[in-house]
């Protein structure tokens, strides 16, 4: 494949993904990486033109990835990436036909998410609150508010990192988050998370705020908007002390929030709205988690289990 063919197709496809599909940055990078990988495979097979792309080439590429040990989820995403590219390339005259239209997506094994039980979730929040009382510093207030909000709202790490001061409604006890695809949604917090957030903003944030902090709610030690890696470390440390709990991160709090809502009687549609899932099928996995937990409790406690 000539460099000009590669560059023209890649640049135009990137513009389409960014401007028309409005993909998140990491998703955009993943799609373009998949395309680069496919083009590399074509070169290996001696294919010098984009017009030589066909279904056998794509299947050969996926098979090569599988032999190298790629996870089913990775193979599935790559198949989706190339189907999107193939359809776009056909519509825009880069290829003569939509060669990947009939490409099947490799099936993935459904892995049930790890969740905290309610007593452990309470223990984690209480421990952070105790630390606030003992240390009374900005970091302890920030960490408590962060973990409370992640669990109360079920928000993604990126969504919480992106929160600004104007996104909080104290009267309604809600926050407005910007989710995938730049879709806004409003999610409830409840009393403990709202109290922790108020304390952080009124007292703790003032100690870290700098001229370039902007409207960011959560700040790092240098006063800039907190990054996702720091949040993950905070959550790992907060949950590490829990007995019998494996290493869990922020997404476990999101999973836990969803599971506990369903166990408490919330309907699937409500949980879907809170989590910001585009599809109800994504939310339904938490019903399986709840069922598994109920079955374990039944087997442990019922005399006829």
Positions marked active-site: 156, 180, 251, 254, 277, 286
Q: How far apart are CA 175 and CA 163, in angstroms?
A: 8
- DSSP, collapsed to helix, strand or coil, labels residue 164 as strand
Where is 295: in which H helix or E strand?
A: helix 280-301
Residues contacting residue 280 through CB under 8 Å, at least 6 positions apart: 268, 269, 272
Burial string for 12-37 (b: 16+ CB within 10 Å, else e) reads ebbebbeeeeebeeebeebbbebbee
Residue appearing with tokens 């999107």: 84
Q: How far apart are CA 31 and CA 295, in angstroms?
A: 40
Per DSSP, the residues of 102-135 read: TPPPPPPPP-PPP---HHHHHHHHHHHHHHHHHH
Closest CA to 153 of 248, 250, 287, 233: 250
Q: How far apart are CA 179 and CA 227, in angstroms?
A: 16
Closest CA to 140 of 149, 148, 132: 132
């Amino acid at each position: 494949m000539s460099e000009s063919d590669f560059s023209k197709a890649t640049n135009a496809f990137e513009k389409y993904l960014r401007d028309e599909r409005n993909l998140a940055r990491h998703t955009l990078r993943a799609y373009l990486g998949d395309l680069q990988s496919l083009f590399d495979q074509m070169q290996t097979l001696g294919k010098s033109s984009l017009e030589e792309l066909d279904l056998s080439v794509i299947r050969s590429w996926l098979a090569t990835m599988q032999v190298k040990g790629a996870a089913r989820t990775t193979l599935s995403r790559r198949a989706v990436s190339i189907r999107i590219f193939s359809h776009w390339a056909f519509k825009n005259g880069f290829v003569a036909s939509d060669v990947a239209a009939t490409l099947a997506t490799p099936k993935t094994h459904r892995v049930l998410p790890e969740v905290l039980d309610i007593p452990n979730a309470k223990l984690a929040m209480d421990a952070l609150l105790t630390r606030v009382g003992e240390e009374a510093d900005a970091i302890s207030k920030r960490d408590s508010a962060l973990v409370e909000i992640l669990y109360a709202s079920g928000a993604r790490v990126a969504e919480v990192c992106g929160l600004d001061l104007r996104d909080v409604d104290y009267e309604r006890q809600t926050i407005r988050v910007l989710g995938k695809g730049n879709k806004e949604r409003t999610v409830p917090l409840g009393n403990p998370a709202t109290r922790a957030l108020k304390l952080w903003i009124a007292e703790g944030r003032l100690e870290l705020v700098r001229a370039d902090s902007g409207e960011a709610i959560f700040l790092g030690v240098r006063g800039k908007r907190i990054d996702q890696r720091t949040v993950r470390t905070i959550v790992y440390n907060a949950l590490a002390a829990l007995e019998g709990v494996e290493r869990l991160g922020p997404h476990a709090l999101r999973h836990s929030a969803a599971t506990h809502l369903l166990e408490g009687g919330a309907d699937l549609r409500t949980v879907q709205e809170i989590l910001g899932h585009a599809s109800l099928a994504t939310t339904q996995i938490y019903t399986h988690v709840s069922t598994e937990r109920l079955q374990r409790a039944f087997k442990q406690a019922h005399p006829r289990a």
